[in-house]
Amino acid sequence: AETVTRGDDGVVGVAGIPVTRLAEEFGTPAYILDEDDFRTRARAWRTAFGPDADVFYAGKAFLSRAVVRWLDEEGLNLDVCSGGELATALSAGMPAERIAFHGNNKSVEEIRRAVEAGVGRIVLDSFQEIVRVAHTARSLGKRQKVQIRITVGVEAHTHEFIATAHEDQKFGIPLAGGQAAEAVRRALQLDGLELIGIHSHIGSQIFDMSGFEVAAHRVVGLLKDIRDEHGVELPEIDLGGGLGIAYTSADDPREPHEIAKALTEIVTRECEAARLRTPRISVEPGRAIVGPTAFTLYEVGTVKPLDGLRTYVSVDGGMSDNIRTALYDAEYSVALVSRASDAEPMLARVVGKHCESGDIVVKDAFLPADLAPGDLVAVPATGAYCRSMASNYNHVLRPPVVAVRDGEARVIVRRETEEDLLRLDVG
């Protein structure tokens, strides 16, 4: 986060609050989220894309009512991908027309709620869904704005599980073999639907812009085919999210204004070549907005040196609050934040308290050799896909999210309690 400082005593502070105080007041583990940093990043995206484009924050990265209000205030729209995310957005007062509804298998009930609420767009992901949404909209006497998500056949250079535009995966309708063109044909025929554009999302944690370039080229190619076949120029294209952030110092992310400039230039150039009016562009960053804004604060419980190997440092959370290391081999860093130390660095592995050896938070890290139980450590860049993918494995309670701003801290998602767990257990 932006407002992190380290005092003379070695204690790290965020937004003017020492982490030792945060740990005392809110307990550990806890996600500490810097609200100003979040707002600054959201605004940077908004400003970079300007009034002729739309930025949809991808709620899957992390969503809570406070976040929805910040987005609303900063002029961003919101991408939701389930009934639960939709409910959160609506309950926090996000205007429905600024919500996009995603997902490859939305239930009929979810579709009905979205149409009824008046969401700004539903992103269609299959032939069945084209019919389902059209039918639902008609039965409610409405015409629903939709986009069709296509897969452009790009290999994004990222982990296999988070790449989404190559052909052999579950999302979208393939451009190859004329399927996307056929989907457009059907959508244009159904009066429950107003087809406003084409959507493409190529993956996540991407640094190389060339994938977006190919995607934009192919999406514009489809717009041209649609114009030639149907005589309509679709007014919008959505290029998805997926921009990478720095988890360790090895990563070198692009700034929103560079991304906006690159994407706008590509689309404009491609449209000029195809003699099309340049459509309104939208993007859906999640990680790039919320990822860097939070860190996880843990307390060290045990320190176990294994001769000739490394030292295992157990913290009071683990794969239940950050599954990304186990699932994607993600890399994180870690630092001692509750005191100064001039001890030699030791090779450490930060692990959680769960009952499996894959429960690793930080695979390889150097921590001071005098690290001891009771020390606080922080793992940066855990704002995206950590709380939102948290689980109750081993009946461990999910940590709170504490927002800090101008010397004040407040809980925006509270810590789970044993009562919360037992409430669901009705057997």
State yes or no: is 355 an active-site residue. yes
Residue 406 identity: D
Name which position in 1, 48, 55, 58 contacts ligand LLP (CB under 6 A). 58
Q: Helices 256-273 and 35-49 sit at what angle, rounded to 10 degrees?
A: 20
| 34 is a contact residue toward ligand LLP (CB under 6 A) | no
**Pairing relation of β-strands 99-101 and 121-124?**
parallel
The site that binds ligand LLP (CB under 6 A) totals a number of residues, namely 23
Residue 3's Cβ-side half-sphere holds a number of Cα atoms within 13 Å equal to 22
Q: Which residue stretch of 11-19, 84-92, 201-209, 373-381 sits at the interface with ligand LLP (rule: CB under 6 A)?
A: 201-209
Name which position in 29, 192, 286, 292 contacts ligand LLP (CB under 6 A). 286
Per-residue tokens: 145? 């704005």
Name which position in 121, 132, 145, 287 contacts ligand LLP (CB under 6 A). 287
The nearest distance, CB 285 to ligand LLP, in angstroms, is 4
Residue 221's Cβ-side half-sphere holds a number of Cα atoms within 13 Å equal to 14
Residue with tokens 């406070």: 66
Name which position in 136, 204, 264, 320 contacts ligand LLP (CB under 6 A). 204
Per-residue tokens: 171? 């999302």
Query: Residues annotated in the binding site for pyridoxal 5'-phosphate, as ranges?
Result: 242, 284-287, 385
| 201 is a contact residue toward ligand LLP (CB under 6 A) | yes
Name which position in 59, 242, 253, 352 contacts ligand LLP (CB under 6 A). 242
The nearest distance, CB 82 to ligand LLP, in angstroms, is 12
| 264 is a contact residue toward ligand LLP (CB under 6 A) | no
Name which position in 205, 264, 311, 320 contacts ligand LLP (CB under 6 A). 205
| 79 is a contact residue toward ligand LLP (CB under 6 A) | yes
Residue 304 identity: K
Residue 256's Cβ-side half-sphere holds a number of Cα atoms within 13 Å equal to 20
Between 328 and 393, name the residue whose CB sits nearer to ligand LLP: 328
The pairs formed by 88-91 with CB atoms below 8 angstroms and a separation of 24 or more are 88/59, 88/63, 88/64, 89/59, 89/63, 90/117, 91/65
Q: How far apart are CA 125 and CA 105, in angstroms?
A: 8
103: left (phi over 0), alpha (psi -120 to 50) or beta: left
Catalytic machinery residues = 355
Residues that bind ligand LLP (CB under 6 A): 58, 60-61, 79, 102, 162, 201, 204-205, 240-243, 284-288, 324, 328, 384-385, 389
